[in-house]
Structure 1
Amino acid sequence: MNQHSFAKPAYSGFTGQFIGGRWVDGTAGRMAKDINPYNDAVLTEISLASAADLEQAYAAASRAQTDWARTLPGQRAAIFERAVEILTARREEVIDWLIAESGSTRMKAGIEFDAVKAGMKEAASMPYLVHGMIMPVDRPGKEARVYRKPLGVIGVISPWNFPLHLSNRSVAPALALGNAVVLKPSSDTPVTGGLLLAKIYEEAGLPAGLLNVVVGAGSDIGDAFSASPVPRLISFTGSTAVGLRIAQVAAASTRLKRLGLELGGNAPLVILDDADLGKAVQAAIIGRFMHQGQICMSTNRIIVEDSLYDDFVEAYCAAAAGLTYGDPARADTFVGPVCNDAQVKSVTSLIAAGQAAGFDLRVSNTIEGRVIPPHVFAGVTNTSELAQNEIFGPVAPIIRAANEAEALRMANDTEYGLSSAVFSGNETRAVNFALQVEAGMTHVNDITIHDYPHVMFGGEKNSGIGRFNGHWIIEEFTTDHLVTIQR
């Protein structure tokens, strides 16, 4: 990693676990190489966690949480204010790590950095937003008080695509609300998904034991993480298949727990016949190809009303063919590498399925290593494998809809319901359409990718349960306690 000028040296020592405020080796007896997906450079080697390490992390979190829950709101807020200062000072260091470990382009890494910073700022306000109620009771001298309290220990499992942001999106509010956290980052991004965040909060003065990071194989700690009786809530962001497995394991635990699951998506971008063509093309380019399409909110299907279809395909293909791809560290690169070889296999199999189905491959180029150039298919059917799967790669299917009614039916014809968007020159028409889309989020005349720290985020159907951000995450990460008084 590059060295930058800070008040303190760049972070180092990403070789093990962070448990109970100490940097320790994992005891699974195995090492894992953390590699750069673009050039296979080894970034670090990490001694993996065992089930015993996981138990120690949960125990440390339990011990630390009791006192933390009693701290004044200003004490908790100050941690996040310092974390923002530290993050800002280390901006280039953090961005370099995101590029090197997750294959983020420089543009995407900057967007992710800003999202993390905004999330920390929002978390600083949360200790002051927790409130209870005094409720009337039909009995003389009786008073009912509802107190809002932290849940206790929260287990967080984060993915590799926006690793720092999607870890911090759960970690920061959980801590701000008086909980302790055990975080399991993806094996593809153990540093940016967990260990780097632990360094930042450690430097910010977070008391020992409140944030623990365990890096381990799913075969060693995967099921145990959700089955443990310690966490009161498991917050998971990732695939629907893994989310269903977590729900099954958690349900079989000896202690009931809550689940917050942000799962897969198949976001439709619907372009109605009165849309601004240029703006729709731009949104569909960014929404599909940002971070190689490896975003749960990525535009997975482009559905265009018949009269605008041919013009859209021509303009979109010209724009996609002009995108730069390759080395994510270059400032002008728009499409970098996908995260790992499994993703290469998955995306190439869907490209092959599109070709086998006879769809019109308008834009393509040679795949080199993990860099998949933009691919655009026209004439795709909405029921096809290409349209019904979450692609998670730089492949864009364009679907023709006969009219607005068919476009809506196609948009809803999926097991997923996370994000979506609709373009129209008539705002009333667009909003009416948006309200009929079976998704947690629909954006009018904009891209499908949005996540603001104070605005509700979440999906319907197989895209998950629960809500993130703002007042919604406060509801998720706290519990109500009724106390009545008889005078």
Structure 2
Amino acid sequence: MGSYSELTKNYISGQWRDGTGNTELKVDNPYSGEIIGQFKTASIDDIKEAYETAKKAQIEWQKVNPFERATIMEKAVQLFESNREELVDILIKESGSSHLKANVEVDFVIAITKESASFPLRMGGEIIPSLVAGKENRIYRKPVGVVGVIGPFNFPMYLAQRSVAPALATGNGVVLKPDSQTPVSGGTILAKIMEEAGVPKGLFSVVVPNRKEVGDIMIEHPIPRVISFTGSTGVGRHIGEICGRLIKKSILELGGNNALLVLEDADVDRAVNSALFGKFMHNGQICMSLNRIVVHEKLYDKFVEKFVSLTEKIKVGNPADKDTLIGPLINKRSIEHILSHVEKAKSQGATVVLEGKTEGNVMHPYILTGTNDVATAQNEMFGPVATIIKAQNDQEAIDIANDTQYGLSGAVHAGTVERGVEVAKQIVTGMVHVNDQSVNDEPLIAFGGEKDSGIGRFGGIRSLHEFTTEQWISTQTEERESPFHVNYLH
């Protein structure tokens, strides 16, 4: 694979090279602050070139035998598997991932790449009957052409590959812009593996620009017909507006304000275990993380006591230590943002039942109790802060869960699965998990949100559909009667 330092180049038109932008981008370890890499950023011209070469390469790529495309994707799976140790190390150093989270992320990367390897052989069309005598209707599934992918910092490798792998497998060219805080784990490492797997030069590029220098060229350039973005709702709304104006398709996986509902007949110990997982996995920096925990009043005191007690036992600190479960947040700004919401929630009447602290970029957990109106409940924390809310009955719990602009994930704990499902169906969110926690992702299942949490679905056949289009071609095997036929006009 090569060392980290060898991956600090843009990968444009099949070449590893410095960008022609005006910025030196320094990448640091969020735990130690050590500078671990430096990029010469990509310019507008670099991004234009990447799109143009992707368009040229895609014309030939879509003609490649589907079995050959599948074989290349299968080779990428093998490379991810054989380089797991290095991939985990990169995620720990660059994104602050714990060993647990980094290994889970690599598992997800392998799974979506393996599923995508089946796509070239699943792009069959249909023949559909016609109203017209002698006509045959054929529906062909085709690649869209070129896809622009913009990735986030939290699960950088997986949330980029979730779009890159299906797009390439279905015959498209791809230009990827990773988050500037995680350009290797979210970008150039993917380019390296796909290059080694045999993806043709120019078909897939990774550009690392300074956003202030390049503006919206990743979205506004006329070549990409689909823009896939994972990140904040504010940025997603901006991207969606541009795509709407330019008549482009956008796939947007955005923020969440996810709730765990603990119903009156739930198993408290099981619910607490789920809450710990769903809240503190990757320090709460997951779009699916639990933000609010809504507990029936009869179980409330018992739940709070157990949740606080077990949270205090979580090891917090250096993510390089294998037993650390909560490591650093991505940067100091994130901590300042979260703490401002905690202070506001306290002024609004919330009670802090576990007072956290910060050490560098590491934040120890905060647990608050209060209403759904306090700042930590109304806003996505994206950090190790939980707000526990009391509910009198199922309907109040459902109303609290739905009282948010978001609708990405959620969970319900109930005494029976069917009771949990009936409650889950009343929550306006893309995904709900009964007697489990909110952080779930599988390569075959529809993944996506409602309301301000996004547009589109990833996973299985849905990913195949998101990165392809359908063309209707009809054939007329016998002459069709027409009012303009020569016999009618004489």
Alignment match, 1:260:
251
Between the aligned partners of 2:215 and 2:256, the Cα distance in structure 1 is 23
Q: Which residue identity is paired with 2:376?
A: L
2:74 aligned with 1:81, yes or no? yes
2:297 aligned with 1:312, yes or no? no
Secondary structure class of the residue paired with 1:13: helix
Q: Which residue identity is paired with 1:374?
A: P
Q: Is contact 2:4–2:37 with CA below 8 Å preserved after alignment?
A: no
- CA deviation profile, 1:201-228 (whole Å, cap 9, x unmatched): 1111111111100101212234111111
Alignment match, 1:302:
293
Identity %: 48
Unaligned stretches of 5+ residues in structure 2: 478-490
Between the aligned partners of 2:187 and 2:181, the Cα distance in structure 1 is 11
Between the aligned partners of 1:222 and 1:484, the Cα distance in structure 2 is 43
Between the aligned partners of 2:237 and 2:212, the Cα distance in structure 1 is 17
Shift of 1:129: 1.4
Alignment match, 1:4:
none
The structure that has the greater radius of gyration is 2
Alignment match, 2:328:
337
2:237 aligned with 1:237, yes or no? no
Shift of 1:248: 1.9
Following TM superposition, the consecutive aligned residue runs of length 4 or more in structure 1 with deviations greater than 3 angstroms are: 8-12
- Pick from 440, 448, 456 the counterpart of residue 446 of structure 2: 456
Q: Is contact 1:440–1:458 with CA below 8 Å preserved after alignment?
A: yes
- Pick from 368, 372, 381 the counterpart of residue 382 of structure 1: 372
170-179 or 337-346, larger mean C-alpha shift: 337-346
Matches within 5 A, 1:9-20: 9-10=2-3, 12-20=5-13
- Pick from 455, 458, 467 the counterpart of residue 465 of structure 1: 455
- CA deviation profile, 1:89-120 (whole Å, cap 9, x unmatched): 11111000000000001110011011101111
Q: Which residue identity is paired with 2:286?
A: I
2:182 aligned with 1:192, yes or no? no
Alignment match, 2:360:
369
Alignment match, 1:248:
241
Matches within 5 A, 1:476-487: 476-487=466-477
Q: Is contact 1:227–1:252 with CA below 8 Å preserved after alignment?
A: no
Alignment match, 2:129:
136
Alignment match, 1:29:
22
Between the aligned partners of 1:277 and 1:106, the Cα distance in structure 2 is 28
- Pick from 370, 385, 402 the counterpart of residue 395 of structure 1: 385
- CA deviation profile, 1:244-288 (whole Å, cap 9, x unmatched): 1111222333xx210100000001100001111111000000100
Q: Is contact 2:154–2:285 with CA below 8 Å preserved after alignment?
A: yes
Q: Is contact 2:28–2:37 with CA below 8 Å preserved after alignment?
A: yes
Between the aligned partners of 2:434 and 2:248, the Cα distance in structure 1 is 36
- Pick from 210, 213, 227 the counterpart of residue 203 of structure 2: 210
Shift of 1:132: 1.1
Between the aligned partners of 1:422 and 1:228, the Cα distance in structure 2 is 43
Alignment match, 2:172:
179
Alignment match, 2:145:
152
Shift of 1:62: 0.3
Q: Is contact 2:283–2:329 with CA below 8 Å preserved after alignment?
A: yes
Q: Is contact 1:326–1:336 with CA below 8 Å preserved after alignment?
A: yes
Shift of 1:459: 0.4
CA change 1:250–1:138 in 2 (3 A) is: closer
- Pick from 308, 317, 325 the counterpart of residue 326 of structure 1: 317
Shift of 1:10: 4.3
2:351 aligned with 1:360, yes or no? yes
Between the aligned partners of 1:252 and 1:482, the Cα distance in structure 2 is 26
Alignment match, 1:474:
464
Between the aligned partners of 2:391 and 2:133, the Cα distance in structure 1 is 65
Q: Which residue identity is paired with 2:375?
A: E
CA RMSD of superposed structures (Å):
1.1
Shift of 1:12: 4.3
Q: Is contact 2:349–2:374 with CA below 8 Å preserved after alignment?
A: no
Shift of 1:65: 0.3
Q: Which residue identity is paired with 2:152?
A: P
- Pick from 94, 99, 118 the counterpart of residue 92 of structure 2: 99
Between the aligned partners of 1:137 and 1:85, the Cα distance in structure 2 is 45
Alignment match, 1:3:
none
- CA deviation profile, 1:177-198 (whole Å, cap 9, x unmatched): 0001000000110000100110
Q: Is contact 1:82–1:204 with CA below 8 Å preserved after alignment?
A: yes
Secondary structure class of the residue paired with 2:356: coil
Secondary structure class of the residue paired with 2:311: helix
Alignment length (residue pairs) = 477
